Amino acid sequence: MSIWKNGIPDLETLSSNQSGTMVDHLGITVTAITDNSLTARMPVDARTLQPHGRLHGGASVALAETIGSIAANLTLDSKEQIGVGLEINANHVRPVKEGYVFGTATPEALGRTTQIWSIRITDETDRLVCISRFTVAVIPTSKA
């Protein structure tokens, strides 16, 4: 059974909705969606590296919040509610110097006023890079 309010959306549409945003600037694109998870990738390049040549922790958090936000909003009726970030934390496990990282968001709790998402970020060989927990506040669209 799918958690998505309007079924599984088109991947190109999800990525094109991010045009002109930080998500677009960082090169984040949605790559997969299942009945209960959303995956996106982000390049590890000049846009996402820290001065020591490793993936910047803030870029990992931006990827995690992006995926969690997209996923949360896909579970809601956009005419009535939106999901906005309330809290995020991240544990950075392994450095990455090049290539891509992939983040997958899965829900832990989909409540009426809050949602909690786990986001696993891995490298191209599926090794854990970062694990994040993202809490979303569900608010009325009229207050957005």
pLDDT digits (tens, 9 = 90+) for 50-105: 999 999 999 999 999 999 999 999 999 999 999 999 999 999 999 999 999 999 99
The proportion of the chain whose per-residue pLDDT surpasses 70, expressed as a percent, equals 100
18 in Cβ contact with 24 (< 8 Å): yes
Say whether pLDDT at 16 is over 80.
no
82 and 73 in contact (C-beta within 8 Å)?
yes
Cα separation, 118 vs 103, in Å, equals 10
Distance of CA 141 to the CA centre of its chain: 21
Ordered by start, the domain boundaries in the chain are 11-143
**Region 37-49 average pLDDT:** 98
Using an 8 Å Cβ cutoff, are 77 and 87 in contact?
Answer: no
Residue 5's pLDDT band, with cuts at 50, 70 and 90, is very high
Query: Which token pair is 42?
Result: 């982000």
Contacts of 131 (CB under 8 A, 6+ apart): 90, 91, 93, 118, 119, 120, 121
Which of these, 136, 127, 67, 62, lies nearest to 99 by C-alpha position? Answer: 127
The stretch 22-51 carries a mean pLDDT of 96
Q: What is the pLDDT of residue 79?
A: 96
Which CATH class, in words, describes the domain spanning 11-143?
A: alpha beta
pLDDT > 90? residue 144: no
Which residue out of 65, 87, 98, 124 is catalytically annotated?
65
Is 65 tagged catalytic? yes
Burial class (CB in 10 A: 0-12, 13-18, 19+), 114: middle
pLDDT above 80 for 12: yes
- Starting at the earlier edge strand, list the strands of the sheet with 99-110: 29-33, 38-44, 99-110, 114-122, 128-140, 81-92
3 state DSSP class of 122: strand
Token representation of residue 114: 């809050």
Report pLDDT for 9.
87
